[in-house]
Amino acid sequence: MVFDMIAMVSAGAGVAGIILVLRAILRGHLPRWALPAGIGAGMLAFSVWNEYSWYGRVTAALPPKVQVVLSPKGTSPFRPWTFVFPAATRFMALDRTVMQISATNPAIRQSDVMLVERWMPMHRLPVAFDCTGWRQADLASGGVLAPDGTLTGSDWVAADRTDTLQIAACNAD
């Protein structure tokens, strides 16, 4: 967030420089309000661009084997333009680069789920998937999935047939 503030102030300073050059070229024929209005408009334009381009920039930087499975869009009263055009400020992705498939039962898999939110550190949560029984188990709270597919320290939870995380994990062949 600090870098966003620095970039926003830099955008305002850049606009101020352009307006000052224009004022010199036009020999002072710009109205006095042009400088503060231009700075404010430049900072606001940068903030809106930065808000809407964040999701695309972050997901484009992910490795090819990381699949985004959920990206809800939201609104905020502090960013009133999001009521007209909601913005994605978080997403959930399945990291297939660390996918482990049971040698004895290929329907049992384990991988990390990445929870990414703007201005927050990324979290990785280990999750077990049973593609035959269509269920999942959270391993972050001490659960262990043995190489043979045996789950200890956690419980299987039934997944909905439309669960995009389960679908992505089971189609990770």
What DSSP string describes 84-149? TS-EE-EEEEEEEEEEEE-SS-TTEEEEEEEEEETTS--EEEEEEEETTTTEEEE-TTS-EE-TTS
150-165 pLDDT per residue, tens: 888 999 999 999 999 9
**pLDDT score for 172:** 64
Token pair of 14 as six digits = 């850049």
Cα separation, 39 vs 14, in Å, equals 8
Low-confidence ranges of the chain (pLDDT < 70): 172-173
**pLDDT score for 58:** 95
**Topology of the domain comprising 66-170:** Lipocalin (2.40.128)
Domain positions in the chain are: 2-60, 66-170
What dihedral angle (degrees, nearest 10) is formed by the CA atoms of 104, 106, 110, 116? Answer: 170
91-120 pLDDT per residue, tens: 999 999 999 998 888 999 999 999 999 989
**pLDDT score for 16:** 94
For the entire predicted model, the pTM comes to 0.81
